Amino acid sequence: MNSHAGDWVRIHAIILEAGERAPAVPDETQAVPLEVRVKGWQVAPASAQPGDRVEIRTVLGRRYTGSLEAINPPYGHDFGAAIPELLEAGQELRDLLADTRGDKT
């Protein structure tokens, strides 16, 4: 899907290439680039596809250029699913305290 000037988009860019990383980082980090992602309003070009070079204006009015990654990407993180091991643990704790108080369960 194409994005258009005025759309809220996320771009991606490389800050440091693999192999140009700080000397102290472990090998697995040294082997990959340092990347940045930032969101803003697409300024140019008028129409672009993912991977195209675009310029954006951030919420503060600052300009960045990078490759178009997504149009208004969802945050995506959520609550996950209930954890049965914790549900059990919670019930055990309730029972333990009820037992301590001498409640009828």
Partner 1 sequence: MKAAAGDYEAVMARRNATMLSALGLDYAPFLENPVAFDYEALMGQVAYDLDEVRAIQARHGVGNTALIELKQISALARRLAPPGKGARIFVKDEAANPSGSYKARRASCSIHHAAAAGFRGAVAATSGNYGAAVASQCAMHGLDCVVVQEVFDSLGVGQPEILEKGRACEIYGAEVLQLSVGPELFYQFLRVLEETGYFNASLYTPYAIAGVEPLGVEIVEQMQAATGASPDVVICTHAGGGNLTGTARGLIKAGATDTRVVAASVDLTGLHMASDRDFNMKYFTTGHTGFGIPFAGWPDRTDVPRNAARALRYMDRYLLLKQGEVFYMTEALARLEGLERGPAGNVSLAAALALAQEMDQDQTIVVQETEYAGAGKQPSAQLSFARSRGIDIRRGDTEEEVPGRSVIIPDHPSRIRVRDMDLNRVRHSLIRKAAANVPQGSTLSDEDITFLAEETRSDEAFVRQSLATESPSR
Residue ranges binding partner 1 (CB under 8 A): 13-17, 20-22, 24-26, 28-29, 31-40, 58-60, 62, 64-66, 75-83, 85-86, 88-94, 96-97, 100-101
Nearest to 15 by CA among 70, 72, 68, 66: 66
Instruction: Select 5 or 38, whichever has its Cβ closest to partner 1.
Output: 38
Q: Are 105 and 94 in contact, with CB atoms under 8 Å apart?
A: no
Q: Are 46 and 75 in contact, with CB atoms under 8 Å apart?
A: no
Closest approach, Cβ 72 to partner 1, in A, equals 12
Closest approach, Cβ 79 to partner 1, in A, equals 5
Closest approach, Cβ 68 to partner 1, in A, equals 14
Nearest to 38 by CA among 52, 26, 56: 56
Helix (H), strand (E) at residue 84: helix 84-101
